[in-house]
Amino acid sequence: MTGASSSSQTIRRVSPTDLGAEAANLLAAGYRLALAACHDDGDALRAVYLFAAGPPSRLVELHVPIDADRPHLPSLAEISFPAGRFEREMHDLFGVVPDNHPLPRRLVRHPNWPAGWYPMRHDAGPPPAFATTQEPYQFLHIDGPGVYEIPVGPVHAGLIEPGHFRFSVVGETILELEIRLWFVHRGIEKLFESRRPADGVALAERISGDTAVGHSLAYTQAIETALGITVSPRDGRLRAMLLELERIYNHVTDLGALANDVGYGVLNGHAQHIREQLLRLNHTVTGHRLLRGAITPGTTHLLQLPDPRQLRDVGADIAELAGLILANSTVCDRFARTARLTRTQAADLGCLGYVARASGQTADARHDHPTCDLEPEPVIHDSGDVLARFLVRRDEIAASVALVEEIIETAGMGDGPKDCRIVVDRGRRSGIGIVEGWRGTIVHRVEIADGTITRHKIVDPSWFNWPALPIALAETIVPDFPLTNKSFNLSYAGNDL
Amino acid sequence: MTLAGPVGAIAQTAVVALGAPALVGTMRQVRARLEGRAGPGVAQPYRDLRKLLGKQSLTPEGTTVVFAAAPAVIAAATLIIAAAIPLATTASPLDGGADLLAVVGLLLTGTVALVLAGLDTGTPFGGMGASRETTIAALVEPTVLLAVFALSIRAGSSNLAVIVADTARRPGHVLSPAGALAFAALVVVVIAETGRLPVDNPATHLELTMVHEAMVLEYSGPKLAVIEWGAAMRLTVLLGLLVNLFLPWGVAGSHSGPLAVVLGLGAVVAKVAVAGTALATGEVYLAKVRLFRVPELLAGSFLLGLLAVTASYFLASPTV
């Protein structure tokens, strides 16, 4: 059973002039903008807006034709914050100009990228020479007595990815944080083009290293919907299990890292120990510590089911670990009331995953867009601080362990992996995959023509959550930034494709 | 004065200078083992110093003599303290300088040198660390003064050697309320002064949370080696002073022979090792407090010092 069969999906062609009204209606009806992407159809450009709501799962695609000679679109930034960012991305990669955009500057392309070269266009050709010096990036400058700036990155201490953080600070209090990302654009979406559907899984697994299952499953579901492939209920459940195994090992890493960032190293050591046990368990399940190689279009290959007893022990260890962390009053003091993101802020920014659920939002694709018959209830905390993000992770681990145990019990031996032949026809097809990865809802949308992928759009939850970090940090003190950043734990790679 | 005084002073300075990295190594190793890690071994700080000393000396553009001189100032100030204070012997020829106020002043000299060096780099991290260090130092130094003053009232002198000799003669005094309060206050300020949990996290790589480390981010090579060595000696000296103020057994007196000095050295090494191990063990169970809570912690310790002084006036006077 795939997402397509249990959800309603409509595709509407909309003229640019009607786009604003249509989008406003959908947003008012409780839909969220899940994806927006431009497509190069050769003689014309086309924007696709995917609106999603659930439960029950409802998907609406708006297809907007764009004149290739005069590529303009009416901006939706006034009614949807995420739309404004998608539009800036469309401009940088396709050269589509959003009319009346409140912040029409570059987002994905840094200033040293050649002007007028739009890499996602089919006729873009090889990249021209990049400028060696770049015009200075205009950070928001705050003047005032005692206000100073702290620039951090893009090269950081420790093994993390590149991002520049510009703090405007008075004393120790953060007035403003501006984050600059997109230092390592890899052209992943372009790499999917002209691949055959089965050949994209390995690439999808490598979009963001810690979300191998999330992205490969979203990719696979998109392919399956496009090609009309159905998956057996057992395989669907095994996929749900893999997704939860990925969630458990990543969440427990974060629990330890949060303790480490307040100097409580002994429990980080404990968390690393648990993580290693989980990675070894993953290795027995799929043959890969990060769970790669199990999911392919049409089927799910496992070497063996995880040992339920071992998993239960690990679950108990994690519960004990979380209890020990919170038993330290200093740690609680550091977590509680630090970097609060209110429910309204989370909703306005379109936050996803544990960030949204720690601010009282119910966003959870397992619930809103279910792909198997097991639907865990979303774990919600509503204080919106570091503590809430910690507690959401802790409770989700417990829920995931219970869910995996249930799947192992009911999975039985099954009929083993079956070969799935992908039947390719000459037609044009499109498909959507929506998955609740451990960071939040991942959306992939694929278009296939003549058996090869013509466009693949990836939306990682970090794309929605990065703008929430500076908002949550208002009035927070500088030494609490690393802790807050860890509590969000956003992906650079998933954001910068 | 016998020859034992100068010999003792030289010997205790040499032991501090050569042994300080071992203390840091021991504390890291204790912590690693308690956290379930193998740890790099007690000798790792020596290997780090050898590595750093073998590197090219770099000076950041735009820095002045303040930046270049700070490591030497810190190391020199700490070495003078090591020679003057009663670690192995109370008969140091620098005894006249081992006055409470002078020692606190020397400690502050090192702090100020590092703060100025942090500012001299002109980087935001240097300034940020300097600002935090100054906030902490402004609260720490008065507490050191007060807490030791509480002990000096009994001895009738602010000379550290006299205080230690007095305590050695009448050990029951440290069990008094004044002694207990002064001890608690001093433990807190030693932790703050040496940049350890819960005030500062010496093991972090997160620049934005650093205090001491933020000021030394621009140092590299031999200069960094001297800073690290100076910080290790500072920790050693402060722990040595702490243990000898309250447990002065084994410290050679002014009329002792060379054997007593050797015994004194052995005693202080053992006491400092135990104190360091205890500090490292305690750190395992601590998390770093929010920066804005550090003044509360230090204010609490200042209050303890104040109470210690008050108590030594009101409770200890009949026995004098």
Residue range of the domain that includes B140: 4-314
Check residues A33 and B256 and name the one with the higher pLDDT. Answer: A33
Look over chain A and give the mean of its residue pLDDT values, rounded to a whole number.
90
Mutation choice for A interface testing from B33, B196, B209, B292 by most A CBs within 10 A: B209
* Alpha carbon distances (Å) from A255 to A118, A264, A343, A390, B34: 41, 11, 23, 7, 20
Work out the angle at residue A87's Cα, subtended by the Cα atoms of residues A123 and A74, and round it to the nearest 5 degrees. 100
CA distance B205 to A157: 6
The single-letter DSSP state of residue A186 is: -
CA distance A15 to A444: 24
DSSP reduced 3-state for A178: strand
pLDDT band at A416 (very low <50, low <70, confident <90, very high): low
The number of distinct structural domains making up chain B is 1
User: B124, A150: Cβ pair inside 8 Å?
Assistant: yes
Nearest-angstrom CA–CA distance, A407 and A394: 20
Q: How far apart (Å, rounded) are the C-alpha atoms in residues A387 and A372?
A: 31
What pLDDT score was predicted for residue B30? 95
Per the rule left: phi > 0, alpha: psi between -120 and 50, beta: everything else, A259 is: alpha
Evaluate whether residue B51 is within a structural domain. yes
Over residues A186-199, mean pLDDT: 91
pLDDT greater than 80 at residue B255 = no
- Say what the pLDDT of residue B151 is: 84
CA distance A269 to A451: 49
Tell me: pLDDT of A421 over 90: no
| ipTM given for this complex | 0.87
Residue in A157, A263, A331 closest to B197 by CB = A263
Q: Closest Cα partner for A440 from A458, A417, A460?
A: A460
Percent of chain A's residues with pLDDT above 90: 68
**Whether the predicted pLDDT of B318 surpasses 90:** no
Residue B88 covered by a domain: yes
B 261-290 residues with CB below 8 A of A? 284-290
**Of A321-325, B95-99, B122-126, the least confident:** B95-99
Q: Supply angle C-alpha A490, A492, A496, rounded to 5.
A: 130
What pLDDT digit, counting tens, does each position of A302-324 carry?
Answer: 999 999 999 999 999 999 999 99
CA distance A303 to A289: 13
A439 and A462 in contact (C-beta within 8 Å)? yes
Shortest CA distance from B204: residue in chain A: A263
The answer to whether residue A479 neighbours chain B at the CB level (below 8 Å) is: yes
> Domain for residue B126, yes or no?
yes
The residue ranking higher by pLDDT, A229 or B171, is A229
Instruction: Give the minimum alpha-carbon distance from B284 to chain A in angstroms, rounded to a whole number.
Output: 6
Q: Are A477 and A253 in contact (CB under 8 A)?
A: no
Residue A24 pLDDT > 50: yes
| DSSP secondary structure of chain B | --THHHHHHHHHHHHHHHHHHHHHHHHHHHHHHHTT-----TTHHHHHHHHHHTSPP---TT--HHHHHHHHHHHHHHHHHHHHS-SSBS--TTGGG-BHHHHHHHHHHHHHHHHHHHHHT--HHHHHHHHHHHHHHHHHHHHHHHHHHHHHHHHT-SBHHHHHHHHHH-GGGGGSHHHHHHHHHHHHHHHHHTT-TTT--TT---GGG-SHHHHTTT--HHHHHHHHHHHHHHHHHHHHHHHHHH--TT-B-TT--HHHHHHHHHHHHHHHHHHHHHHHHHHHT--PPPGGGHHHHHHHHHHHHHHHHHHHHHTTGGG-
Which two tokens mark B178?
């004044």
What pLDDT score does A4 carry? 41
Residue A291's pLDDT is 93
Domain membership flag for residue B319: no
Give the nearest partner residue to A479 out of B37, B205, B209, using CB atoms: B209
Could you tell me if A333 lies within 8 Å of chain B, comparing CB atoms?
yes
Q: What is the pLDDT of residues A83-98, one digit of tens each?
A: 999 999 999 999 999 9
pLDDT at A1: 35
In the predicted model, what is the mean pLDDT of residues B151-166?
86
Token representation of residue B74:
């810190």
Name the percent of chain A lying above pLDDT 70.
95
User: Could you tell me which of A394, A321, A325 has the C-alpha nearest to residue A354?
Assistant: A394
For residue A149, the chain B residues in CB contact (below 8 A) are 124
Q: Is B95 a residue whose pLDDT tops 80?
A: no
A277 pLDDT higher than 60: yes
Token output for A472: 């949550």
Instruction: Report in angstroms the alpha-carbon separations of A294 from A213, A226, A284, A417, A432.
Output: 8, 20, 12, 10, 20
Disruptive mutation site among B208, B216, B281, B289 for chain A (greatest number of A CBs within 10 Å): B208
d(C-alpha B316, C-alpha A74), whole Å: 84
Phi, psi of B291 (to 5 degrees): -55, -40
pLDDT tens digits along B23-48: 999 999 999 999 888 999 999 999 99
Name the residue facing A150 among B128, B197, B290 (closest C-beta).
B128
What is the band of B98 on the pLDDT scale with cuts at 50, 70, 90?
confident
Tens digits of residue pLDDT in A54-72: 888 999 999 999 988 889 9
Please tell me if residue B127 touches chain A, with a CB cutoff of 8 Å: yes
Q: Does B35 touch chain A (CB under 8 A)?
A: yes
pLDDT band at residue B203 using 50, 70 and 90 as cut-offs: confident
The length of chain A, given as a count of residues: 497
Name the residue among B12, B3, B1 with its Cα closest to residue B266.
B12
Tell me the average pLDDT across A191-214: 92
Is B24 within 8 Å of B232 (Cβ atoms)? yes
User: Residue A424: is its pLDDT beyond 50?
Assistant: yes
- CB-CB under 8 Å, B125 with A328: no
